[in-house]
């Protein structure tokens, strides 16, 4: 088995809470008394452009929330969105330790403003060398092209790389390109599975 030299990480669900997934949107529905079906229908229409960096956060809010008068402000809604991001301390600690030995990169689906807020708020730039974020590269997992681009950007062969995610469909996309993969369920299992691949701090 080739030696693993580079680690590629999902962010939401692995290192941090999800930023704007269905659970976070449900919290917004309850907090701001939104009509869930209408909100979700509008979200689904624009989320590809939002996560691929083709639609700004303000543009997203114009289409999904502020297409009608509201009793709350745009800034209140943005701050609520940002406030939902929480660290997964054990995973972050492991990633930080591994960053001293391995090339580290993210491969994550995220809109630009939320992505940059999370990078800054949780000091992710201290851990990762490259951010292959959907909002920067215009591709989303599980499209195989985003994994191939990550290899090009870091100049590694697939067999030298391990991809970590909490969703099977994204793991399958990386595996098709030739990455070793770990489907994360909890930090302890993540550490064990990485050790099985020879990956240790």
Q: For the segment 18-46, what is each residue's pLDDT rounded down to a tens digit?
A: 999 999 999 999 999 999 999 999 999 99
For residue 77, tell me if it sits in a domain. Answer: yes
Question: Do 108 and 147 lie in a common domain?
Answer: yes
Residues facing residue 67 across a β-bridge: none
Both 51 and 66 in one domain: the answer is: yes
Q: Read off the CATH number of the domain in which 28 is found.
A: 1.10.150.240
Domain membership of residue 189 (yes or no) is: yes
- pTM of the model as a whole: 0.96
**Among 37, 63, 25, 18, CA closest to 167:** 18
- pLDDT (tens digit, 9 = 90+) per residue, 74-114? 999 999 999 999 999 999 999 999 999 999 999 999 999 99
Domain span at residue 69 reads 22-83
**C-alpha closest to that of 134 among 123, 152, 122, 149:** 149
Strand bridging mode 161-165 / 6-9: parallel
């Amino acid at each position: 088995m080739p030696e693993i030299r580079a680690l590629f990480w999902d962010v939401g669900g692995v290192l941090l809470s999800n930023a704007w997934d269905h659970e976070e949107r449900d919290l917004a529905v309850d907090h701001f008394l939104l009509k869930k079906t209408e909100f979700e229908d509008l979200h689904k229409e624009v989320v590809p452009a939002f996560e691929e960096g083709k639609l700004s956060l303000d543009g997203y809010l114009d289409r999904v929330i502020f297409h009608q008068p509201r009793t709350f402000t745009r800034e209140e809604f943005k701050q609520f969105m940002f406030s939902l991001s929480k660290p997964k301390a054990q995973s972050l600690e492991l990633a930080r330790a591994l960053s001293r030995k391995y090339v580290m990169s993210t491969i994550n689906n995220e809109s630009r403003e939320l992505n940059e807020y999370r990078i800054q708020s949780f000091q992710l730039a201290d851990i990762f060398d490259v951010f292959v974020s959907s909002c920067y590269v215009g591709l989303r997992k599980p499209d195989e092209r985003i994994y191939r681009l990550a290899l090009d950007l870091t100049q590694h062969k697939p067999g030298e790389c391990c991809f970590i995610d909490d969703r099977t469909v994204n793991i399958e996309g990386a595996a098709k390109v030739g990455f070793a993969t770990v489907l994360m369920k909890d930090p302890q299992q993540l550490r064990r599975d990485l050790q099985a691949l020879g990956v240790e701090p």
